[in-house]
């Protein structure tokens, strides 16, 4: 007997341009519905490392659309102005119009770059994201942020451009290298601390080795993490601020100020989710020194990230180098650093202008060099 297929989960992102995020298995048949009936031509932006994995998607689209391929470099090497320009030139040569559409297929770097190309070509064309990594499913593909890197830092050039839909096809995670899946859990655990503590219970109660592409627990973690992001971006799409003391969309950058600084000093050789895990532990230590977070929650940061195999210490860079990198963080205001911190579990707030002494001490607490 053929096993009954588990029903797809559909999470609706409301706002100016509502769209669905679908979580399930073998979702490629949903692509035409998300692209819409008026689309005739589709450009597929994908990492050149995924040339074989993307083939079924290309074949499926070719049955209904004129398909052009836009392979790009793998990982953060894709997020450069030169790569975006090469995509623009290809679209121009093909006569790509505003009624055509883009599909991104890959990890977060592909989603960011492909979304940015969609946002800027003819001031905006339709885009559907098909993330192939856990990190992209729970982070980059949802929320409409697109961007590229510069020498000064990560994602400093970009645009808000909401997709027409997102397909989180868990089947694609079967081919994902294990270290990449574990790294993606960094963003998942982060969501547990900022909004949904059930996520923490799930990762603490299950062995990380059981979290596979076909695991019901991993599926629930994806759905919960996506749900956190959907709620946040629905309330504050363009990061203009939350209500009361809540940071609004900035809350999604929990752990990212230090995390991005580590990525930059490592020349992006460290995985994003690993850097975020370290950054979350760092900011928990910083919040403790500022008097907003109890020691037991600092300890839980360490234990929760460690339970899924993520790093919680860092010592490869000098503090002053990281401080310079943090000062170009997008949340900074003038010369003042701002950090999303916790006042309690799932109670985020903003810490503005912490002392250099506290910043330095928090780095020492995660094993760093003063």
Q: What is the rounded distance in angstroms from the CA atom of residue 220 to the CA atom of residue 207?
A: 15
Judge contact between 366 and 283, C-beta under 8 A: no
Residues 6+ apart with CB under 8 A from 11: 20, 21, 22, 23, 223, 226, 227, 230
Measured CA to CA, the distance from residue 301 to residue 296 in angstroms comes to: 9
Helix axes 272-290, 356-365, angle to 10 degrees: 120
CA distances from 255 to 95, 136, 191, 194, 338 (A): 42, 17, 11, 10, 11
d(C-alpha 67, C-alpha 91), whole Å: 12
Binding residue per annotation — 75?
Answer: yes
For residues 347 and 337, give the distance between their C-alpha atoms in angstroms, rounded to a whole number: 20
**Pairing between strand 19-24 and 9-13?**
antiparallel
Is the CB of residue 28 less than 8 Å from the CB of residue 20? no
Q: Consult the annotation and say whether 219 binds a ligand.
A: no
327 among annotated binding-site residues = no
Q: Is 110 annotated as a binding residue?
A: yes
CA dist list (Å): 80 to 70, 156, 312:
15, 11, 29
Question: Is 8 annotated as ligand-binding?
Answer: no
Listed in sequence order, the residues at least 6 apart from 296 whose beta carbon sits closer than 8 Å to its beta carbon are none
Q: Length of the chain in residues, anyone?
A: 370
- Is 109 annotated in some ligand binding site? yes
Question: Is 266 annotated to bind ligand?
Answer: no
User: Is 272 annotated among the ligand-binding residues?
Assistant: yes
Judge whether 108 is annotated as a binding position: yes
Residues 153 and 325: their CA atoms lie apart, in Å, by: 7
343 is in an annotated binding site: no
Does the annotation flag 186 for ligand binding? no
24 annotated ligand-binding residue:
no
224 annotated to bind ligand: no
Please indicate if the annotation marks 78 as binding a ligand.
yes
- Residue 113, helix vs strand vs coil: helix
Partner residues linked to 12 by β-bridges: 20
Residues marked as binding for NAD(+)? 74-79, 108-112, 132-133, 145, 154
Binding residues for Zn(2+): 187, 256, 272
Which amino acids are annotated as binding site, given as ranges?
Answer: 74-79, 108-112, 132-133, 145, 154, 187, 256, 272
């Amino acid at each position: 007997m053929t096993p009954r297929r588990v029903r797809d989960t559909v999470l609706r992102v409301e706002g100016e341009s509502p769209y669905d995020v679908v979580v399930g298995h073998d979702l490629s048949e949903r692509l035409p519905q998300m692209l819409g009936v008026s689309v005739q031509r589709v450009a597929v932006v994908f990492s050149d490392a995924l040339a074989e994995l993307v083939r079924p998607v290309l074949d499926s689209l070719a049955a209904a659309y004129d398909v052009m391929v836009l392979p790009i470099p793998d990982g953060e090497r894709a997020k450069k102005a030169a790569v975006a320009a090469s995509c623009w030139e290809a679209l121009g040569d093909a006569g790509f119009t505003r009624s055509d559409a883009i599909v991104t297929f890959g990890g977060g770097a592909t989603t960011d770059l492909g979304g940015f190309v969609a946002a800027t070509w003819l001031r905006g064309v339709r885009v559907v994201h098909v993330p192939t990594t856990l990190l992209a499913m729970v982070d980059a593909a949802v929320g409409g942020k697109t961007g590229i890197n510069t020498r000064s830092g990560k994602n400093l050039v970009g645009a808000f451009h909401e997709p027409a839909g997102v397909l989180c096809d868990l089947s694609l995670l079967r081919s994902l290298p294990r270290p990449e899946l574990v790294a993606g859990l960094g963003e998942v655990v982060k969501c547990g601390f900022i909004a949904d503590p059930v996520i923490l219970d799930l990762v603490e109660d299950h062995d990380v080795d059981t979290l596979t592409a076909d695991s019901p627990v991993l599926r629930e973690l994806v759905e919960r993490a996506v749900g956190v992001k959907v709620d946040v971006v629905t309330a504050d799409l363009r990061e203009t601020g939350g209500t009361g003391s809540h940071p609004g969309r900035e809350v999604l950058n929990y752990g990212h100020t230090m995390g991005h600084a580590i990525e930059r000093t490592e020349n992006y050789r460290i995985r994003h989710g690993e850097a975020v895990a370290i950054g979350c532990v760092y900011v928990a230590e910083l919040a403790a020194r500022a008097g907003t977070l109890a020691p037991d929650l600092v300890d839980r940061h360490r234990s929760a990230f460690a339970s899924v195999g993520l790093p919680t210490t860092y010592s490869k860079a000098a503090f002053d180098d990281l401080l310079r990198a943090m000062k170009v963080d997008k949340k900074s205001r003038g010369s003042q650093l701002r950090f999303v911190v916790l006042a309690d579990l799932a109670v985020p707030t903003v810490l503005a202008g912490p002392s250099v002494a506290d910043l330095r001490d928090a780095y020492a607490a995660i094993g760093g060099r003063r």
